[in-house]
């Protein structure tokens, strides 16, 4: 990342980063529509969107069904190759330890995310999985691209969950706390 934010704004890839993040945001909206934590990802290779994915952990009851892993699997199926050198991952939320690790395995060149995940983030918040010293591959990263939109979508989702939990308590009387767990989660897991 450039140390000078103004220089960073002028980088031509900043414009395309915003464009591709738009596709990841559309995937996040698809997760939202399926009552999943709204996180989406796309993988771009040579300027082309190779694969898309959105979070489906609850629907699939699968802790591996993160947006980034789903997109990575589709991308390697599309290319027929285990690795994706030169590829860029756009994801609406900072990758967790699992997804960041998978990106290292896949030899992803760069990952761009919109907002950090303070509870699960393995790219910068809680760990530096993308750039472990001594690992045989380092993944470059940029953050903060279209952050306001990604954050608004997450807030809308968790607000609707809180509202549903409140209504459920009102209907069921004191002590009903059924939706509490789902409200408190911030990541995909």
Which residues sit at the interface with Zn ion, rule CB under 5 A? Answer: 66, 96, 98-99
**DSSP states of 59-92:** HHT-TT--HHHHHHHHHHHHHT-S--TT-EEEEE
Q: How far is the CB of 178 from Zn ion (least distance, A)?
A: 26
Structure tokens at 56: 């489906």
For Zn ion, the closer of residues 23 and 97 by Cβ is 97
For Zn ion, the closer of residues 111 and 145 by Cβ is 111
3-state secondary structure of 119: coil
Q: What whole-number distance in Å separates Cα of residue 132 and Cα of residue 29? A: 32
Q: How far is the CB of 127 from Zn ion (least distance, A)?
A: 12
Q: What whole-number distance in Å separates Cα of residue 161 and Cα of residue 153? A: 13
For Zn ion, the closer of residues 111 and 165 by Cβ is 111
Q: How far is the CB of 117 from Zn ion (least distance, A)?
A: 9
3-state secondary structure of 185: coil
Among 68, 149, 156, 185, the active-site one is 68
Residue 123 and residue 97 in contact, taking contact as beta carbons nearer than 8 Å: no
Count of beta carbons in the 10 Å neighbourhood of residue 72? 25
Q: How far is the CB of 67 from Zn ion (least distance, A)?
A: 7
Select the residue whose beta carbon is closest to Zn ion and give its number.
99
Q: For this structure, is 6 an active site residue?
A: no
For Zn ion, the closer of residues 21 and 123 by Cβ is 123
Q: Which residues are catalytic?
A: 68
């Amino acid at each position: 990342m450039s140390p000078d934010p103004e220089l960073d704004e002028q980088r031509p890839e900043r414009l395309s980063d915003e464009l591709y993040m738009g596709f990841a945001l559309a995937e996040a909206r698809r997760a939202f529509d399926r009552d999943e934590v709204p996180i989406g990802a796309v993988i771009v290779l040579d300027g082309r969107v190779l694969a898309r994915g959105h979070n489906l952990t609850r629907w699939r009851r699968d802790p591996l069904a993160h947006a980034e892993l789903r997109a990575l699997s589709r991308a390697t199926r599309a290319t027929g190759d285990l690795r994706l050198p030169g590829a860029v991952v756009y994801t609406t939320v900072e990758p967790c330890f699992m997804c960041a690790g998978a990106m290292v395995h896949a030899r992803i060149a760069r990952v761009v995310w919109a907002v950090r995940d303070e509870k699960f983030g393995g790219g910068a918040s809680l760990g530096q999985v993308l750039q472990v010293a001594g690992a045989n591959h380092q993944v470059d990263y940029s953050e903060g691209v279209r952050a306001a939109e990604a954050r608004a979508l997450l807030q809308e989702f968790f607000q609707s969950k809180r509202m549903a939990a409140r209504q459920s308590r009102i209907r069921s009387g004191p002590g009903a706390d059924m939706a509490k767990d789902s409200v408190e989660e911030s990541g995909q897991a």
